């Protein structure tokens, strides 16, 4: 059994504010005995402007929040998923990048968000992530102290084939760090996360930001830790804080033996 924690953080406008928010909740997770700590999407800061995401951006080697998390992982002897931060890309674009950091403070995996959040829910509610973010093109599985992690970020959650591919290639824990918007979160967040767990016989760990986004919009919260049967082990509710649960990786193996659907895919044609 391994104890994992999700930090449910409020979106902050600057690196400094993001670091301060992390500091408080990270220590709480350590004090509760977490061995692996998961942070949400844009944990390094997030604002919006006219439907465009506008987080503080830095080069990877100079990113203060990434350096903070590496130092804390080493000092507290814990593994960390930096859900995502904005990393300089090409031209005016940036990368929405997730990092897995081991308990020595070393980066062992990187993942750039593949599916970008371009939606129009009404005449006044529209998001165009592709206008500022350079998409990734590589699915990533990270080998960690709690097993093989299949990495994803937020809007990826709506594309089940990604998680199927990750699970069929050995991932027994699927991670979905997010800043899921409140409007769609209320309708879809729980059911989509539980579906990814059930259909893949995997644990799902989904740290989500919570509260108003500076500049407009709001994140849903309700960070989740879900077992392979689809049972919610912990739910972060609608306030900043920490959730903790114990994961027994053998349960994923047992579930896949009982319901071996990952090996039952068949080719078919559509007429």
Query: In terms of Cα–Cα distance, which of 213, 208, 171 is closest to 193?
Result: 208
- Whole-number pLDDT of residue 52: 82
With contact defined as beta carbons under 8 Å apart, do 79 and 122 qualify?
no
How far is residue 72 from each of residues 79, 193, 203, measured CA to CA in Å? 9, 28, 25
What would the two tokens of residue 193 be?
């996360």
126 pLDDT band (50/70/90 cuts)? confident
Give the pLDDT of residue 91: 87
Nearest CA to 188 among 226, 220, 228, 233?
220
pLDDT of residue 53: 85
Nearest-angstrom CA–CA distance, 71 and 20: 14
Strand stretches in the chain, DSSP E = 2-8, 36-38, 48-49, 52-53, 57-58, 79-88, 94-101, 107-112, 118-120, 126-128, 141-144, 147-151, 173-175, 203-206, 210-212, 218-220, 224-226, 232-235, 241-247
- Which residues, 6 or more positions from 59, have their beta carbon under 8 angstroms from its beta carbon? 87, 88
pLDDT tens digits, 167-218: 999 999 999 999 999 999 999 999 999 999 999 999 999 999 999 999 988 9
- Whether this prediction's pTM lies above 0.75 is answered by yes
Domains in the chain: ranges and CATH: 2-261 (3.60.110.10)
Is residue 41 over pLDDT 80? yes
Enzyme catalytic residues? 41, 113, 154
Q: What is the pLDDT of residues 212-266, one digit of tens each?
A: 999 988 999 999 999 999 999 999 999 999 999 999 999 999 999 999 999 999 9
């Amino acid at each position: 059994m391994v104890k994992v924690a999700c930090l449910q953080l409020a979106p902050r406008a600057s690196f400094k504010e993001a670091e301060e928010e992390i500091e408080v909740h990270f220590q709480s997770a350590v004090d509760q005995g977490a061995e692996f700590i998961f942070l949400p999407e844009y944990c390094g800061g997030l604002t919006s402007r006219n439907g465009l995401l506008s987080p503080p951006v830095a080069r990877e080697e100079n990113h203060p929040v990434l350096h903070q998390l590496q130092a804390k992982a080493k000092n507290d002897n814990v593994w960390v998923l930096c859900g995502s931060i904005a990393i300089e890309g090409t031209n005016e674009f940036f990368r929405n990048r997730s990092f897995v950091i081991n308990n020595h403070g070393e980066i062992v995996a990187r993942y750039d968000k593949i599916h970008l959040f371009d939606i129009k829910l009404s005449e006044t509610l529209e998001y165009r992530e592709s206008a500022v973010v350079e998409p990734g093109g590589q699915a990533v599985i990270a080998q960690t102290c709690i097993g093989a992690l299949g990495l994803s970020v937020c809007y990826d959650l709506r594309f089940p084939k990604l998680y199927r591919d990750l699970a069929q290639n050995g991932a027994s824990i699927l991670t979905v760090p997010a800043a899921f918007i409140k409007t769609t979160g209320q309708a879809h967040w729980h059911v989509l996360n539980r579906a990814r767990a059930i259909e893949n016989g995997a644990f799902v760990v989904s740290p989500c930001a919570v509260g108003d986004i500076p500049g407009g919009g709001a994140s849903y919260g309700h960070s989740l830790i879900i077992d392979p049967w689809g049972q919610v082990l912990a739910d972060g509710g609608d306030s900043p804080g920490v959730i903790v649960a114990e994961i027994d990786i053998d349960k994923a193996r047992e579930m896949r033996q009982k319901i071996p659907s990952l090996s039952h895919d068949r080719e078919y044609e559509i007429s």
